[in-house]
């Protein structure tokens, strides 16, 4: 019995063992399959995470950008230079310190150490950024206590990571000094960042600022925006250069270091723009004009010097009144030379004379009856009432030649001549003026130039507020039309340039590292304004006008041609002056008595090299208050021409070297009683200035009549002076 039970138990044990093995194998297989499935799932998830998940990609990008970043590097802006190399606008690096009050060096420093350093730094900063410096650089002065409070409060707050410590940007020389001060010298570790910034500097200050302009946007009073002005804006594509970029790695809060990367690109600095301006002449013209504006209590003034052959603008001054007229004048108001469009007055008579000579059948001897026009006594021409400032026909029974009319600036002559010649065909006259460019631009639209404007006969505009009988005679002497000063000097320059009218040039060439990259061409606006015959006659007219005003140019030692102009202003202009600004709100009218007095000069008279325009706008405040062009603009033009003559050796007569040394045979001796002994010199053929100088040197008193060069002298050359101390000179062209 027992044996059977044992066999049975043994049999059961063997069956159970096989079952256990099968269970284990099944479980292992299940576990293996499960692990395989989980592994496959993990692989799928990994692939999906890496390849498809937008959230993961976003987080990875943030992580990478937290360590690496791409930073743009600004290019160094090119300089604007005068033709002789003096800087008008340059860029220079400036620095500001941004304190990181959360930096470990500040947080971990003990109170005694930090506040000892903070107190020393505050004292030194107050000594550097003085009250005088604050006034000069227009910022609020910070005392030592103020700096210390900033450093105390910054540490106490423990929040500000980029506090600008300096009240203004500092130069690299200043920074080299400041970085030796406590805390800034790194004795507490990296607790600040010195951020470099580029600052645009104008070494000549206010001089030529309208021509230089600005490249940053300007918000106007009507909330509209313009991108910039002047050379800074128009040549910005040359000046700005091109930006670079580098990859940087984060090393500590607020601190990054540049790393090597194939995409790193260094910036390319901008080109230099070399202008046509002459630095010395620009400063001198600015000074001469400021002086007259102050003396005359004027609203604004312009002065332009143009080189005849090239159209180079060698100087252009635009000065407007500050808050109170007669006080301060600045270039930061308006570019009046290009943008203030005004009636030119009698300077327009050069164009009218050209029309009369070229298509009107006139010559310089053609006479017109001026009816003995007197000041404030009107002569009716058509339906226009015309006045002269003096009687041009006083000695000729009212009959005046074209030459005398130009020299005396007779409004009546030109009004009558034009009206009688073109009354039946006014379109021929206005079309001719338009062909000279007086209804167009002179090529400076990009600089904001206003277009000249003449009412054109034959258009609907012609009969608005007028007609042929009123417009035609008034256009003849510079009314009923508007033109900016830059256009008038361009026309005069064309006459001086043998009839070739060239566009004004502000820029001569573009350069980099002293090498010319691009040279700006001379642009011809009109290859031939008129015939050579007419040009010769126009030269005679301008010399006659200069001779008539020679007493206003007694300092100028050479002959020149000119024409003055005076016109009452009926159009608004931009001004900072309190009186002017209030008046502009209502609109200028005749009763306000604003006048624009100007003069155009070409020098020397033979083979002119320079053209000069000066214009002054002034409100006549009382009887006797001067407002004529010769009185307002004449002194400035005289000083400018003297400057040009003095500084340009090519204008001086050359002295030939004698073949053999010369020794005088006798000497003139001055008697002790003061009477001069000697002979009367020969001055026939000389200009008036030279003749006056020589005769007065011999002790003679001089009277003269006519204009041009000396034709005859009342005392014969070679005779003894004796008791007759007065000599009369007759001048003729």
Residue 349 near residue 563 (C-beta atoms within 8 A):
yes
Q: What is the mean pLDDT of residues 248-256?
A: 64
pLDDT digits (tens, 9 = 90+) for 502-543: 999 999 999 998 899 999 999 999 999 999 999 999 999 999
Among 21-25, 164-168, 539-543, which stretch is predicted with the lowest mean pLDDT?
Answer: 21-25
Taking residue 193's Cβ as centre, other Cβ atoms within 10 Å add up to 17
My answer on whether 729 and 645 are in the same domain is no
DSSP helix/strand/coil, 92: strand
Which residue, 621, 653, 685, sits at the end of a domain?
A: 653
My answer on whether 52 and 163 are in the same domain is no
Q: Does 5 have pLDDT greater than 50? A: no
My answer on whether 610 and 684 are in the same domain is no
Query: Taking CA 95 as the corner, what is the angle to CA 94 and CA 98, rounded to the nearest 5 degrees?
Result: 155
Crossing angle of helices 411-422/426-435, nearest 10°? 120
Burial of residue 390 (CB within 10 Å: 0-12, 13-18, 19+) is exposed
Higher pLDDT pick, 291 / 172: 291
Q: What is the mean pLDDT of residues 334-342?
A: 95
Which residue, 599, 624, 653, sits at the end of a domain?
A: 653
pLDDT digits (tens, 9 = 90+) for 203-214: 988 899 999 998
Q: What is the mean pLDDT of residues 329-357?
A: 96
pLDDT of residue 673: 37
Segments forming the whole domain that contains residue 133: 91-203
Q: Does 253 have pLDDT greater than 60? A: no
Q: What is the dihedral of CA 120, 122, 125, 126, to 10 degrees?
A: -120
User: Could you tell me if residue 166 is inside a domain?
Assistant: yes
Residue 443 near residue 531 (C-beta atoms within 8 A):
no
Q: What is the mean pLDDT of residues 459-478?
A: 92
Q: CA 500, CA 309: separation in Å to the nearest integer?
A: 9
For residue 488, what pLDDT band results from cuts at 50, 70 and 90?
very high
Higher pLDDT pick, 262 / 253: 262
Q: What is the mean pLDDT of residues 223-252?
A: 83
My answer on whether 181 and 58 are in the same domain is no
Q: Residue 403: name the closest of 716, 708, 152 by CA.
A: 708
Which residue, chain included where needed, has tokens 């790393």? 259
Could you tell me which residues come within 8 angstroms of residue 683 by beta carbon, excluding any fewer than 6 positions away? 690, 691, 694, 695, 710, 713, 717, 729
**Most distant CA pair in the chain: distance in Å?**
189
Residue 692 near residue 702 (C-beta atoms within 8 A):
yes
Average pLDDT, the chain: 87
User: Could you tell me if residue 679 is inside a domain?
Assistant: yes
pLDDT of residue 361: 96
My answer on whether 526 and 601 are in the same domain is yes
User: Could you tell me if residue 63 is inside a domain?
Assistant: yes
My answer on whether 621 and 521 are in the same domain is yes
CATH number at residue 625: 3.30.450.330
Backbone angles phi, psi at 679, to 5 degrees: -120, 160
pLDDT of residue 103: 85
CA atoms within 13 A of residue 134's CA, in its CB half-sphere: 14
| Residue 566 DSSP symbol | E
User: Could you tell me if residue 221 is inside a domain?
Assistant: yes
Domain count, the chain: 4
User: Could you tell me if residue 373 is inside a domain?
Assistant: no
Residue 119: which H helix or E strand, with range? helix 111-128
Q: What is the mean pLDDT of residues 9-22?
A: 60
Q: CA 143, CA 243: separation in Å to the nearest integer?
A: 39
My answer on whether 670 and 647 are in the same domain is no
Q: Residue 651: name the closest of 660, 642, 662, 663 by CA.
A: 642
Burial of residue 690 (CB within 10 Å: 0-12, 13-18, 19+) is middle
Percent pLDDT > 70 in the chain is 88
Query: Taking CA 485 as the corner, what is the angle to CA 309 and CA 418, rounded to the nearest 5 degrees?
Result: 95
- Which two tokens mark 469? 């009988």
My answer on whether 159 and 208 are in the same domain is no
Q: Residue 210: name the closest of 90, 85, 319, 79 by CA.
A: 319
My answer on whether 164 and 190 are in the same domain is yes
Higher pLDDT pick, 733 / 125: 125
pLDDT of residue 511: 95
pLDDT digits (tens, 9 = 90+) for 422-446: 999 999 999 999 999 999 999 999 9
Burial of residue 10 (CB within 10 Å: 0-12, 13-18, 19+) is exposed
pLDDT digits (tens, 9 = 90+) for 367-399: 999 987 676 788 999 999 999 987 777 778 889
- Which two tokens mark 608? 């002119």
pLDDT digits (tens, 9 = 90+) for 550-593: 888 877 888 999 999 999 998 899 999 999 999 998 888 888 99
Percent pLDDT > 90 in the chain is 56
Q: Residue 210: name the closest of 343, 320, 86 by CA.
A: 320
Adjacent-strand bridge partners of 304: 316, 613
Residue 120 near residue 181 (C-beta atoms within 8 A):
yes
Q: What is the mean pLDDT of residues 668-677?
A: 43
DSSP helix/strand/coil, 683: coil
DSSP helix/strand/coil, 582: helix
Strands 272-275 and 80-81: parallel
Q: Residue 469: name the closest of 553, 538, 383 by CA.
A: 383
pLDDT digits (tens, 9 = 90+) for 71-95: 777 788 999 999 999 999 999 888 8
Per-residue CA distances from 475 to 341, 349, 418 (Å): 15, 9, 9
User: Could you tell me if residue 333 is inside a domain?
Assistant: yes
Q: Residue 232: name the closest of 214, 207, 218 by CA.
A: 214
Adjacent-strand bridge partners of 728: 703
Adjacent-strand bridge partners of 599: 564, 614
Which residue, chain included where needed, has tokens 């009367």? 680
My answer on whether 195 and 179 are in the same domain is yes
Q: What is the mean pLDDT of residues 620-634?
A: 93
Among 227-241, 276-290, 547-561, which stretch is predicted with the lowest mean pLDDT?
Answer: 547-561
Residue 211 near residue 277 (C-beta atoms within 8 A):
yes
Q: CA 730, CA 712: separation in Å to the nearest integer?
A: 5
DSSP helix/strand/coil, 550: helix
Which residue, 184, 203, 222, sits at the end of a domain?
A: 203
Q: Residue 345: name the closest of 598, 612, 617 by CA.
A: 598
Adjacent-strand bridge partners of 255: 252
My answer on whether 723 and 647 are in the same domain is no
Q: Does 732 have pLDDT greater than 70? A: yes
DSSP helix/strand/coil, 23: helix
Residue 113 near residue 191 (C-beta atoms within 8 A):
no
User: Could you tell me if residue 705 is inside a domain?
Assistant: yes
My answer on whether 711 and 582 are in the same domain is no
Q: What is the mean pLDDT of residues 165-192?
A: 90
User: Could you tell me if residue 249 is inside a domain?
Assistant: no
């Amino acid at each position: 019995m027992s044996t059977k039970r044992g066999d049975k138990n043994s049999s059961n044990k063997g069956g159970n063992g096989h079952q256990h093995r099968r269970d284990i194998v099944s479980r292992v297989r299940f576990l293996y399959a499960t692990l395989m499935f989980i592994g496959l799932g993990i692989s799928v998830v990994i692939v999906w995470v890496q390849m498809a998940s937008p959230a993961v990609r976003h987080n990875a990008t943030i992580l990478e950008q937290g360590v690496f970043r791409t930073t743009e590097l600004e290019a160094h802006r090119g300089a604007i230079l005068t033709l002789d190399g003096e800087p008008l606008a340059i860029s220079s690096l400036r620095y500001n310190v941004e304190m990181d009050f959360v930096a470990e060096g500040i947080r971990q420093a003990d109170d005694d150490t930090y506040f000892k350093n903070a107190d020393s730094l505050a004292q030194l900063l107050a000594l550097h950024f003085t009250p005088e410096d604050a006034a000069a650089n227009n910022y609020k002065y910070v005392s030592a206590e103020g700096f210390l409070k900033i450093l105390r409060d910054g540490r106490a707050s423990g929040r500000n990571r980029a506090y600008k410590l300096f009240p203004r940007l500092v130069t690299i020389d200043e920074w080299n000094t400041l970085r030796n001060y406590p805390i800034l010298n790194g004795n507490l570790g990296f607790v600040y960042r010195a951020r470099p910034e580029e600052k645009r500097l104008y070494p000549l200050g206010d001089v030529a600022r309208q021509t230089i302009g600005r490249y940053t946007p300007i918000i106007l009073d009507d909330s509209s925006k313009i991108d910039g002005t002047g050379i800074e804006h128009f040549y910005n594509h040359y000046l700005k250069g091109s930006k670079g970029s580098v990859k940087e790695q984060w090393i500590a809060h607020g601190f990054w270091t540049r790393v090597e990367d194939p995409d790193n690109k260094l910036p390319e600095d901008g080109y230099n723009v070399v202008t046509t301006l002459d630095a010395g002449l620009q400063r001198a013209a600015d000074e001469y004009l400021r002086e007259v504006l102050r003396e005359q209590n004027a609203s604004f003034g312009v002065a332009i010097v143009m080189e005849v052959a090239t159209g180079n603008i060698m100087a252009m001054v635009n000065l407007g009144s500050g808050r109170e007229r007669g006080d301060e004048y600045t270039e930061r108001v308006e570019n009046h030379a290009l943008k203030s469009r005004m009636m030119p007055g009698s300077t327009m008579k050069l164009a009218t004379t050209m029309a009369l000579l070229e298509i009107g059948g006139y010559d310089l001897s053609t006479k017109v009856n001026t009816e003995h026009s007197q000041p404030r006594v009107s002569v009716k021409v058509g339906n226009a009432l015309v006045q002269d400032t003096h009687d041009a026909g006083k000695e000729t029974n009212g009959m005046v030649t074209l030459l005398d009319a130009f020299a005396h600036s007779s409004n009546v002559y030109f009004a009558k001549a034009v009206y009688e010649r073109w009354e039946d065909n006014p379109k021929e006259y206005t079309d001719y003026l338009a062909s000279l460019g007086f209804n167009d631009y002179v090529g400076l639209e990009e600089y904001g130039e206003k277009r000249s404007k003449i009412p054109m006969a034959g258009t609907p505009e012609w009969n608005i507020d007028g007609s042929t009988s009123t417009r035609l005679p008034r256009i003849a002497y510079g009314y009923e039309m508007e033109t900016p000063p830059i256009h008038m000097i361009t026309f005069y320059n064309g006459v001086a340039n043998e009839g070739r009218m060239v566009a004004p040039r502000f820029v001569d060439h573009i350069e980099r590292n002293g090498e010319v990259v691009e040279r700006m061409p001379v642009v011809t606006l009109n290859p031939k304004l008129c015939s050579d015959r007419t040009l010769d006659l126009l030269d005679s007219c301008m010399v006659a006008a200069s001779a008539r005003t020679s007493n206003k140019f007694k300092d100028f030692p050479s002959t020149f041609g000119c024409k003055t102009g005076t016109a009452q202003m009926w159009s608004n202009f931009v001004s900072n002056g309190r009186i002017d600004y209030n008046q502009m709100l209502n609109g200028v009218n005749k009763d306000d008595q604003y006048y624009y007095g100007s003069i155009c000069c070409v020098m020397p008279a033979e083979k002119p090299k320079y053209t000069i325009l000066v214009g002054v706008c002034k409100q006549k405040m009382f009887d006797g208050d001067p407002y004529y062009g010769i009185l307002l603009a004449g002194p400035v033009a005289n000083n400018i021409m003297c400057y040009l003559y003095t500084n340009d050796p090519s204008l001086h007569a050359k002295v030939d070297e004698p073949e053999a040394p010369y020794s005088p045979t006798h000497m003139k001796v001055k008697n002790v009683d003061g009477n001069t002994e000697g002979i009367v010199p020969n001055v026939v053929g000389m200009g008036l200035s030279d003749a006056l100088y020589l005769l007065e040197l011999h002790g003679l008193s001089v009277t003269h009549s006519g204009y041009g060069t000396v034709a005859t002298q009342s005392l014969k050359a070679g005779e003894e002076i004796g008791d007759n101390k007065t000599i009369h000179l007759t001048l003729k062209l």
